[in-house]
Amino acid sequence: MRRYAKFLVGAGILVAVLGVLIVNLNDNLVYFQTPTEVVERPAGDARLRLGGQVVPDSVERTATETSFLVTDGRVAVPVRHVGAPPDLFQPGIGVVVEGSWDGETFRSDTMLVKHDENYSPEDPERPFTSP
Amino acid sequence: MSQPTAPSSPSRGRVVVAVLAVLAAAVLAGVSPADAVQGELVRIMYVHVPAAWLAYLAFVVTLVGSVGYLVTRRFVFDRLAEASAEVGVYFTGLAIALGMIWAKPTWGVWWTWDARLTLTAIMFFVYLGYLALRRATAEPAVRARRAAVLGILGVVQIPLVHFSVVWWRTLHQPPTLIKPDKPSIEGTMLMALLAGIAAFTVVYGLLVARRMELARLEADLAAAEASLDRPVAGSAVTAPELGEAR
C-alpha cells in the first residue's frame, strides 16, 4: 500500500506543478495579441507581437517596406514592415508581426505568416503563383 | 526462467501490407491537388501529420503497457511499453523535423516558441528521459516498475500538446481533423492524409512487434548469461609453493 501512496503523492505534486505553471504562464502561452488588445493596452516602446488578417486592398509595397492594415474583424491597425515579407504573404492571409509602436503605426521588423487549418485546391478562377 | 526460443521472423504478409500501404499513401499524396494558399508545400502535411499522430498513438500504447505491467506484473506489457515509447520518440522527432521543413517556407521561420512547438519539444525530451530511465536501471522488475510510473504520468502531455492550439493563441494552426466541426479539408486531400495516417500506423505496428521481439531476446540472453557456469571468485589464486622448507 505504501508504494501506491507514494505514487499518488508524486502524481499529485506533478499535477499541482503543472497547474501552477499553466495558470502563471497563461499570458506567455499566448503567442501574439490581437489588434483590439494592442489598442486597448498601451505598450509604450515595448516590443510586442501583433497578429491578425491582412486587410485586402491595403497592401502597399516599396523597395524596402511593406505597409498594410492588420485586423481582427473589429479594429484595424496600420503596420509598416521593414524587410522582405515571407513568400506566402498576400492580402487576406494571417500574419504575426513583431515590433513596437511608432506613433500611430506599428513598426515591424519580423513577420511570420500564420496560415489557417483549411485546405482546398487552387481556385481555377484565381491565378496563383507558386511560392 | 523461461527457456530461450528462436527469434521469429516477421510474417511476409504483414511486410507486404506495409509496403503496399506506404506506396498507396505516396501515390495519393502525389496526385492530390496543390493547396490554394500553400501550393505544393501542402504535401508536407501528408507526412508531418501522420508522424505527429503516431507520437500520440505510441505514447498511449506505452500507457496501456505500463498499466498492464503494474496490474499483471507480466513482462510482455513492459516490453510493449518500451517498444512503443522508442518508436514514439522516433516519430515525435520526425514530426518536429518535418514540421520545421514545412514551417520555413510557409511561416518564414524554422522554429518559434509558441505553445504547440514548445510543448511538443517538452514531450520529446520527457520520453527521451523515459528511455534514459530504462537504461539507468539494471534489475528488470525494478526497471519495469519505475518505467511504468513515468509511462503513465507522461501521457498527460498528449491532450496538452494536441489542444494547445485551441486553448492558447499560437502560430501553429488549429487541428484540421480532430475537432468539433467537420474536417476542413477538400475530399482528395483528406483521402491522401488518411492514407498517410493508415500507412504510418501499419509501419508503427511492424516496428513495435519487431522491437518487442528484440526485447524478449535480450531478456532471454541476460537470463542465460546469468545462469552460465562462471569461475568461482578466488579460483585464479593458486596455492603458494613453499618449496622443501621443513
Query: Comparing A69-78, A106-115, B82-91, B225-234, which segment has the lowest mean pLDDT?
Result: B225-234
- Supply A64's cell numbers: 524596402
Task: Please name the residues in contact with B121: beta carbons below 8 A apart, sequence gap of 6 or more.
Answer: B96
Tell me whether residue A90 is in a domain: yes
Residues A73 and A51 in one domain: yes
Of A93, A120, A126, the CB nearest to B35: A120
Q: Tell me the DSSP string of A14-36.
A: HHHHHHHHHHHHHHHH---B-HH
Task: Please name the residues in contact with B158: beta carbons below 8 A apart, sequence gap of 6 or more.
Answer: B56, B59, B60, B123
Mean pLDDT estimate for chain A: 83
Reduce the DSSP state of residue A38 to 3 states and report it: helix
Chain-chain contact of A117 with B184 (C-beta, under 8 angstroms): yes
Residues A21 and A45 in one domain: no
User: Across the strands, what pairs with B185?
Assistant: A119
Note the pLDDT of residue B143. 93
pLDDT tens digits, B43-68: 999 999 999 999 999 999 999 999 99
Query: Comparing A60-64, B103-107, B189-193, B237-241, which segment has the lowest mean pLDDT?
Result: B237-241
Note the pLDDT of residue A131. 34
Residues A40 and A82 in one domain: yes
Contact B117, B168 (CB under 8 A): no
Residues A45 and A26 in one domain: no
Question: What is the distance between the alpha carbons of residues A110 and A98, in angstroms, rounded to a whole number?
Answer: 5
Which band of pLDDT confidence, cut at 50, 70 and 90, is reported for residue A27? low
Evaluate if residue A32 carries a pLDDT over 60.
Answer: yes
Which band of pLDDT confidence, cut at 50, 70 and 90, is reported for residue A126? very low
Nearest to B153 by CA among A92, A131, A15: A15
Tell me whether residue A124 is in a domain: no
Residues A48 and A16 in one domain: no
Tell me whether residue A83 is in a domain: yes
Evaluate if residue B246 carries a pLDDT over 60.
Answer: no
Which band of pLDDT confidence, cut at 50, 70 and 90, is reported for residue A7? confident
pLDDT tens digits, B33-49: 888 888 889 999 999 99
Note the pLDDT of residue A129. 41
Residues A23 and A84 in one domain: no
The total domain count for chain A is 2
Chain-chain contact of A119 with B171 (C-beta, under 8 angstroms): no
Size of interface A-B (CB pairs under 8 A): 102
Contact A96, A49 (CB under 8 A): yes
Residues A52 and A90 in one domain: yes
Residues A52 and A82 in one domain: yes
Helix (H) or strand (E) holding A4: helix A2-29
Q: What percent of chain A has pLDDT over 70?
A: 89
pLDDT tens digits, B131-178: 999 999 888 999 999 999 999 999 999 998 998 888 888 889 888 887
Note the pLDDT of residue B73. 94
State the CATH number of the domain containing residue A46: 2.40.50.140
Q: Can you give chain B as a three-state secondary structure string?
A: CCCCCCCCCCCHHHHHHHHHHHHHHHHHHHHCCCECCCEHHHHHHHHHHHHHHHHHHHHHHHHHHHHHHHHHCCHHHHHHHHHHHHHHHHHHHHHHHHHHHHHHHHCCCCCCCCHHHHHHHHHHHHHHHHHHHHHHCCCHHHHHHHHHHHHHHHHHHHHHHHHHHHHCCCCCCCCCCCCCCCCCECHHHHHHHHHHHHHHHHHHHHHHHHHHHHHHHHHHHHHHHHCCCCCCCCCCCCCCCCCCCC
Amino acid (1-letter code) at residue B2: S
Mean pLDDT estimate for chain B: 88
Tell me whether residue A9 is in a domain: yes
Reported pTM: 0.83
Note the pLDDT of residue B242. 78
Question: What is the distance between the alpha carbons of residues B28 and B48, in angstroms, rounded to a whole number?
Answer: 15
Evaluate if residue A44 carries a pLDDT over 90.
Answer: no
Question: What is the distance between the alpha carbons of residues B121 and B92, in angstroms, rounded to a whole number?
Answer: 9
- Supply B86's cell numbers: 522508442
Evaluate if residue A127 carries a pLDDT over 80.
Answer: no
Which band of pLDDT confidence, cut at 50, 70 and 90, is reported for residue A128? very low
| Residues of B with Cβ-Cβ distance to A130 under 8 angstroms | 34, 39-40
- Each as own residue / partner, the long-range contacts of residues B18-21 (CB below 8 Å, 24 or more positions apart, any chain) are B18/B199, B18/B202, B18/B203, B18/B206, B21/B195, B21/B198, B21/B199, B21/B202, B21/B203
| Residues of B with Cβ-Cβ distance to A96 under 8 angstroms | 171
Closest chain A C-alpha to B34 CA, distance in angstroms: 6
Question: What is the distance between the alpha carbons of residues B234 and B152, in angstroms, rounded to a whole number?
Answer: 46
Chain-chain contact of A112 with B171 (C-beta, under 8 angstroms): yes
Which band of pLDDT confidence, cut at 50, 70 and 90, is reported for residue B245? low
Sign of the C-alpha dihedral computed for residues A29, B59, B147 and A6 taken in this order? positive
Residues A47 and A25 in one domain: no
Residues A63 and A15 in one domain: no
Chain-chain contact of A131 with B149 (C-beta, under 8 angstroms): no
Helix (H) or strand (E) holding A12: helix A2-29
Nearest to A97 by CA among A44, A53, A63: A53
Chain-chain contact of B189 with A121 (C-beta, under 8 angstroms): yes
Report the range out of A68-77, B3-12, B224-233 with the highest average pLDDT: A68-77
Evaluate if residue B80 carries a pLDDT over 90.
Answer: yes
Residues A22 and A41 in one domain: no
Of A7, A11, A31, the CB nearest to B170: A31
Rounded to an integer, what is the distance from CA A118 to the centroid of its chain? 18
Evaluate if residue A30 carries a pLDDT over 90.
Answer: no
Amino acid (1-letter code) at residue A27: D
Helix (H) or strand (E) holding A50: strand A48-54
With cell 503494474, the residue in question is B70
For B164, the closest chain A residue by CA position comes to A29
Tell me whether residue A127 is in a domain: no
Residues A17 and A59 in one domain: no
- Rounded mean pLDDT of A54-73? 89
Chain-chain contact of B149 with A118 (C-beta, under 8 angstroms): no
Full residue range of the structural domain in which residue A2 is found: 1-30
Interface test with B, best of A31, A33, A126 (most B CBs within 10 A): A31
B12 or B24, greater pLDDT: B24
- Supply B181's cell numbers: 466541426
